[in-house]
Structure 1
């Protein structure tokens, strides 16, 4: 029997709380971006060591998101949401108080531990939101990661420019505590969907080790050298560890990630598309601020400050916020596959706009708004596809795995576009800058990747409506689980 759902008035508070939590978590990921140039001086270290302040959050969140998702299924999603808030707040306080590298890395790692709030929140919506509001609610909470990333940059830049950098972390600590209070009072507790099953400790350790090796190789390969023994060794270790992990997951009774479910064509193709969507989204986030901030003397740079560049990009986040509920309505009308295909095609169109209008700040703003609209559509459709294809007992863990796929995409996108921008350069006044052709190539890569995502999305099969196959999308909108194969 399904758990009783809160009244509609209260579910509005639930959705607002979960969307706010996802937005704040995303803001924490971009929090240090305005400080990158200053971090070596602030922490009394080298630039290469300071880069770990960003890398550690990526690594820890990649390891912890699938784990927190599975624990949400086992012990309850509300409990795990509250647990995730603790390291978000504690990590922010540690960063605010630190004056050296190691405490900052510890604090940023703690912040990474709390990034599971988004997949947990999306999974919780399936339990508590009325079916007529579920698609739009999923779209808004899922897109909160992109919304927070787009809005966090100008906000962080403004605070860093006009106040102490420590204010950023004290503010994030206060926001984390606020989220905890909102979850405590506004989010209802529902029974754990996989209560009685065991937590797969070997699976968690194996996946974590494999992901750390893979993401370290991707994120640090450019610094260490793509052909260096360290990078190649990490890639090889990740392959071995993930193969062993997969062997274990297929044979244990209660796996961390049910690979048989993940191998279903709808789930598999959605996760593959998610990787490419992550690449496509992050390519523009990497290229646009550089074009805005490069000196005008280059002939293609626009000479904007960090704060001004963030403000030019902020309408993209607002567009995502506007489009996400509309994407939910589109999903209700045509299905999540249609919404996903539309979303990635809009992302590709955004890159086309950027290629045509990259010589002006307003042109890049329009391009970001178009791309962000596509991200809003795509990010809302992917969880709907996933939840429509997995049992209720795996909702949170499946969403966590899908979030991980997006993160792998953003990491890969950063590495690929970073290589393009670093290899195609020009000299000006004794300094080396990425050339105009380099930026155009990066934009073409982003456009091409978005089109690849559209192709994979179009291949996602429809649901089989037969006596032996429950209609999974109807199950999502009713809050019930599709039959488990």
Structure 2
């Protein structure tokens, strides 16, 4: 070893090594984020095939997607709270460990209930994104925060689209869904190793007790609400079972709010959920999550619908779903690395509004024109632009107005409402498709898809309007 100058070792200064380590940390967090978002979508192109393999229907198989979102919605604020209490890096390792465990269970599963259990364990890893943002705030210098948060947040959309492509490539060679889950397990192990060797467990510990009562009440609320929405068309919206579930969801919500106001250290501090700046950021997150996760499932099913048999659709394969998504993945990657500069100039709120508007145009295009592959490519270009910009800006908007000590839980709450929006989107679109089917079969009508695309477009445009209003009130921030 040679010293080339004062403070230098092998030609590298301490500053150089610090910068290199920050780069490795960011790479590790992005890799983990990609795996997490990938596991959320790898199952989507397989749903039509698994309906037959598991002897279920659209509503039943949709729970393979919804279960992961539901568990993520409950686990995200809980693990974020644990991150503030015990350190964010250990909670990241827990989340990745559960992702690997759930992946192995799905890789060995042979029935719908076992798949749902595995998917629920995988979904807990959704807490990684807010934990990663917390690590960035604890570790990175202020001048690099916006761009680093934007890059990690942007991996959600990138990994989701890459997941569709990877699944398509695998499904083109085998009818079994198991190899897809072995792949996510392997990638999860690699990402976990990267996190272990690169990320530091910085940040102040705040102590306290976990709010398991709040977590249980939140889980009850979401399960009752989603079950009522997804099963309403089959049971009847006016049936006793459906109404009882809606009533139970309302009761859980009331008790949950009361409990969170009374407990000393709540799971969700309501000020961070509905405070002056938090409310609009969380509402925009909910609506954008509703549009994004709903679009993944809907577009995949539509592409695989056989036009020669039902009169609409693109007669595609599982691989076709991924290939159509390539423009979206490329644009999400580009904008996740460049949106930080846009946000620094005009503010994250206005940036989010622009991204959400593009996402709305994507679903609006498919609602109006969906008869060819060209329509799908145009929609994916708009979608990649919208979600790439929107999600990168959303990560910054969620935490910039809170104290460093609350960054983990604030980001966790924002992720919770985004994931809850995605869960509800799956139930809503599944409900629409189930309620309007071609006579004599179980295939949804074309008008059901049009209504679903339009519903998702309204959600994205709603996010754009909320973000614009937020920006006007708070000077773009």
Normalised by the size of structure 2, how large is the TM-score?
0.88
Q: Is the CA contact (8 Å cut-off) linking 2:172 and 2:318 kept in structure 1?
A: no
CA distance in 2 between counterparts of 1:439 and 1:137 reads 37
Task: Give the secondary structure class of the aligned counterpart of 2:470.
Answer: coil
Does 360-369 or 227-236 show the bigger shift?
A: 227-236
Q: Is 2:134 the counterpart of 1:123?
A: yes
Choose the corresponding residue for 1:453, options 442, 447, 463: 463
Relative to structure 1, the CA distance from residue 317 to residue 329 in structure 2 (aligned partners, 3 Å threshold; closer, same or farther) is same
Choose the corresponding residue for 1:58, options 66, 69, 77: 69
Q: Is the CA contact (8 Å cut-off) linking 2:167 and 2:322 kept in structure 1?
A: no
Q: Following TM superposition, by how much is the alpha carbon of 1:105 offset from its aligned partner in structure 2, in angstroms?
A: 3.1
Relative to structure 1, the CA distance from residue 215 to residue 254 in structure 2 (aligned partners, 3 Å threshold; closer, same or farther) is same
Structure 2 equivalent of residue 275 of structure 1:
286
CA distance in 1 between counterparts of 2:116 and 2:433 reads 27
CA distance in 1 between counterparts of 2:272 and 2:60 reads 40
Q: Is the CA contact (8 Å cut-off) linking 1:219 and 1:411 kept in structure 2?
A: no
Q: Is the CA contact (8 Å cut-off) linking 1:194 and 1:394 kept in structure 2?
A: no
Measured against aligned partners, the alpha-carbon deviations of 1:131-178 in whole angstroms (never above 9, x if no partner) come to 332222212211222222212112112213314432222221111111
CA distance in 2 between counterparts of 1:84 and 1:5 reads 31
Q: Is the CA contact (8 Å cut-off) linking 2:78 and 2:211 kept in structure 1?
A: no
Q: Is 2:296 the counterpart of 1:309?
A: no
1:334-353 to 2 correspondences below 5 Å: 334-353=346-365
Q: Is the CA contact (8 Å cut-off) linking 1:266 and 1:461 kept in structure 2?
A: no
Structure 2 equivalent of residue 235 of structure 1:
246
Structure 2 equivalent of residue 325 of structure 1:
337
Q: Is the CA contact (8 Å cut-off) linking 2:328 and 2:381 kept in structure 1?
A: yes
Structure 2 equivalent of residue 167 of structure 1:
179
CA distance in 1 between counterparts of 2:130 and 2:459 reads 24
Relative to structure 1, the CA distance from residue 179 to residue 225 in structure 2 (aligned partners, 3 Å threshold; closer, same or farther) is farther
CA distance in 2 between counterparts of 1:294 and 1:205 reads 39
Q: Is 2:449 the counterpart of 1:439?
A: yes
Q: Is 2:408 the counterpart of 1:392?
A: no
Q: Is 2:91 the counterpart of 1:70?
A: no
Relative to structure 1, the CA distance from residue 348 to residue 51 in structure 2 (aligned partners, 3 Å threshold; closer, same or farther) is closer
Q: Is 2:396 the counterpart of 1:360?
A: no
Task: Give the secondary structure class of the aligned counterpart of 2:213.
Answer: helix
Q: Is 2:145 the counterpart of 1:134?
A: yes
Q: Following TM superposition, by how much is the alpha carbon of 1:408 offset from its aligned partner in structure 2, in angstroms?
A: 2.0
Q: Following TM superposition, by how much is the alpha carbon of 1:352 offset from its aligned partner in structure 2, in angstroms?
A: 4.2
Measured against aligned partners, the alpha-carbon deviations of 1:99-136 in whole angstroms (never above 9, x if no partner) come to 34444333222212222111111221111123332222
Q: Following TM superposition, by how much is the alpha carbon of 1:339 offset from its aligned partner in structure 2, in angstroms?
A: 0.6
Choose the corresponding residue for 2:255, options 241, 244, 255: 244
Relative to structure 1, the CA distance from residue 441 to residue 207 in structure 2 (aligned partners, 3 Å threshold; closer, same or farther) is closer
Q: Following TM superposition, by how much is the alpha carbon of 1:242 offset from its aligned partner in structure 2, in angstroms?
A: 2.0
CA distance in 2 between counterparts of 1:339 and 1:361 reads 30
Q: Following TM superposition, by how much is the alpha carbon of 1:77 offset from its aligned partner in structure 2, in angstroms?
A: 0.6
Q: Is the CA contact (8 Å cut-off) linking 1:222 and 1:415 kept in structure 2?
A: no
Measured against aligned partners, the alpha-carbon deviations of 1:240-295 in whole angstroms (never above 9, x if no partner) come to 22222212222222222111233222100111111211222244334433442233
CA distance in 2 between counterparts of 1:279 and 1:448 reads 10
Q: Is 2:214 the counterpart of 1:215?
A: no
Q: Is the CA contact (8 Å cut-off) linking 1:218 and 1:411 kept in structure 2?
A: no
Measured against aligned partners, the alpha-carbon deviations of 1:55-108 in whole angstroms (never above 9, x if no partner) come to 432322221111111111111111100111111111222222333444433322
Q: Is the CA contact (8 Å cut-off) linking 1:316 and 1:368 kept in structure 2?
A: yes
Structure 1 equivalent of residue 415 of structure 2:
403
Q: Is the CA contact (8 Å cut-off) linking 2:312 and 2:371 kept in structure 1?
A: yes
Q: Is the CA contact (8 Å cut-off) linking 1:5 and 1:127 kept in structure 2?
A: no
Structure 1 equivalent of residue 4 of structure 2:
none
Structure 2 equivalent of residue 477 of structure 1:
none
Structure 2 equivalent of residue 481 of structure 1:
none
Tell me the C-alpha RMSD between the 2 structures.
2.8
Relative to structure 1, the CA distance from residue 355 to residue 166 in structure 2 (aligned partners, 3 Å threshold; closer, same or farther) is closer
* Equivalent residue pairs, number: 460
Q: Which runs of 5+ in 1 are unaligned?
A: 466-471, 474-485
Structure 2 equivalent of residue 180 of structure 1:
192
